[in-house]
């Protein structure tokens, strides 16, 4: 018998546009060819998924893999290995490398570095700056570009664009959704003295909720004036959630698993290890973020994977760098929240697959549907595991969640029909490809 499918994942519970049901998934030539009841004998390879749940591949649209220039913290190979070990099939990488990714040459350099080394599919943001504002309309349309990312408050590595006229110029010149880190630089500069030496718990006092709100207010005003779409990264305050609920026509919202899972009390135990921008805040903000998820204000989840070595993190605050690993823990931490009934598995899929594909117009990803790339995140919702530093394959080698026992675990990462990770083992190295986008599809040749 000639096999009708290359692979069939059979007897698993599939979460897709039809809901949650037991289905088989047939794959041919890297794409989903059929759903339903499929005879495993009709496939060259049959994977028994009894007791497992099959999700559309998880897409993490905010990671910092540090290459080029900062490879002692992470590189494209190690960061993408962490991604697939954690069940992530696709990543968007940020531009604050050294040099930063703000030219066509720098973007092409990253794509060349990724070829044959990255284990998941990928795209790269181009940094929007005061110097390249007039070039961004062309840069955002290059193959492999996820869009334009702009800092309007100082953080590690990317020069902020502080003035309204230059932000307006950036928005006028682009057509895709622009992505922003929103903290108001003048307020950060004025309050820097509130960051007390050796006391990382003062980080949210320095970079307070008003700094975040003022920046988001500015961006909304400028986006409306330009008639453009914006995406606000790592929203961390109750005030922003309330404001953004009134502007969903122009603004989309990301939250991170760090801001959903940690509160300011954790500074006592973890200190600078949980120092990130914008900061981990108190319970009031954490509760508001969860309400934003329940109400549909929040569109997607991102890890904001931003690794530093433990030696760097051990520097005295505020000289210590902001950021922590996250791409490998995104799925297990959020599955634990599903287990605890903080959110449904359908909402998790909406925020990690459907949402990213919709917001960024990703071609052929984000759904388990015929004709789409066969990107799958296979999980065991009944498997309980303790997260340990030894499990982390990022060059950082640590996680703020070490010692935490979670319920729900990624057991398989499938990228375009190929099992890249299965039961904790890397099976297919260096097979990641650049992501395609509906807004910038190249003509057939």
For the chain, the farthest-separated pair of C-alpha atoms sits apart, in whole angstroms, at: 74
Residue-level pLDDT at 156 = 57
Active site members: 304
**Tokens for 133?**
């504002």
Residue-level pLDDT at 268 = 97
Whichever domain contains 183, its CATH number is: 3.20.20.140
Q: Does any domain span residue 380?
A: no
Q: Does any domain span residue 38?
A: no
Q: What is the domain extent for residue 184?
A: 57-360
**Tokens for 101?**
């990714």
pTM across the whole model: 0.97
For residue 137, give the H/E element and its range: helix 136-139
CB 252 within 8 A of CB 359: yes
Percent of the chain whose predicted confidence (pLDDT) is above 90: 95
Q: What is the C-alpha separation between 414 and 388, in angstroms, rounded? A: 24
Q: What is the pLDDT of residues 364-381, one digit of tens each?
A: 999 999 999 999 999 999
Q: Does any domain span residue 211?
A: yes
CA distances from 32 to 42, 57, 139, 372 (A): 15, 12, 32, 6
Residue 157 has pLDDT above 70, yes or no: no
The residues, any chain, with a CB within 8 Å of residue 377's CB and separated by 6 or more, are 54, 55, 56, 57, 58, 87, 88, 89, 331, 410, 412, 413, 414
Q: Does any domain span residue 267?
A: yes
Q: What is the pLDDT of residues 56-84, one digit of tens each?
A: 999 999 999 999 999 999 999 999 999 99
Number of domains in the chain: 1
Residue 120 has pLDDT above 90, yes or no: yes
Q: Does any domain span residue 219?
A: yes
Q: What is the C-alpha separation between 318 and 246, in angstroms, rounded? A: 35
Q: Does any domain span residue 149?
A: yes
Q: Does any domain span residue 247?
A: yes
Q: Does any domain span residue 299?
A: yes
């Amino acid at each position: 018998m000639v096999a009708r499918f290359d692979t069939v994942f059979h007897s698993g519970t599939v979460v897709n546009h039809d809901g949650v049901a037991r289905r088989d998934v047939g794959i041919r030539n890297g794409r989903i060819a059929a759903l339903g009841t499929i005879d495993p004998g009709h496939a060259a390879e049959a994977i028994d998924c009894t007791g497992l749940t099959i999700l559309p591949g998880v897409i993490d649209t905010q990671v910092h893999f540090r290459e080029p220039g900062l490879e002692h913290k992470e590189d494209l190979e190690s960061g993408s290995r962490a991604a697939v070990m954690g069940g992530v099939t696709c990543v968007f990488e940020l531009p604050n490398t050294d040099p930063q990714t703000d030219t066509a040459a720098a973007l092409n350099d990253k794509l060349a570095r990724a070829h044959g080394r990255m284990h998941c599919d990928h795209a790269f943001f181009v940094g929007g700056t005061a110097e390249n504002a007039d070039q961004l309309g062309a840069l955002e349309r290059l193959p492999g570009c996820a869009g334009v990312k702009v800092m309007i408050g100082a953080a590690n590595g990317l020069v902020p664009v502080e003035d309204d006229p230059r932000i307006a110029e950036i928005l006028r010149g682009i057509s895709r959704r622009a992505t922003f880190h929103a903290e108001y630089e003048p307020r950060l500069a004025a309050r820097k003295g509130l960051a007390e030496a050796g006391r990382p718990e003062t980080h949210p006092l320095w970079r307070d909720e008003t700094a975040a709100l003022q920046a988001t207010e500015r961006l909304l005003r400028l986006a409306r004036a330009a008639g453009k779409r914006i995406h606000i990264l790592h929203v961390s305050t109750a005030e922003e959630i309330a404001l953004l609920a009134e502007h969903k026509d122009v603004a989309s919202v990301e939250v991170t698993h760090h801001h959903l899972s940690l509160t300011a009390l954790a500074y006592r135990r973890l200190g600078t290890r949980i120092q990130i921008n914008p900061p981990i805040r108190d319970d009031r903000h954490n509760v508001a973020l969860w309400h934003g998820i329940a109400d549909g204000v929040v569109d997607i989840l991102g890890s904001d994977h931003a690794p530093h070595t433990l030696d760097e993190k051990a520097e005295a605050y505020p000289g210590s760098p902001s950021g922590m690993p996250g791409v490998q823990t995104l799925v297990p931490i959020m599955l634990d929240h599903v287990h605890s009934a903080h959110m449904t598995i359908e909402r998790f899929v909406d925020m990690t697959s459907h949402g990213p594909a919709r917001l960024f117009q990703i071609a052929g990803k984000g759904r388990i549907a015929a004709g789409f790339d066969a990107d799958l995140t296979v999980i065991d919702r009944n498997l309980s595991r303790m997260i340990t530093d030894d499990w982390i394959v990022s060059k950082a080698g640590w996680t703020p969640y070490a010692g935490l026992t979670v319920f729900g675990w990624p057991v398989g990462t499938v990228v375009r029909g190929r099992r890249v990770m299965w039961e904790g083992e890397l099976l297919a190295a260096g097979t990641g490809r650049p992501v395609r986008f509906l807004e910038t599809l190249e003509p057939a040749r």
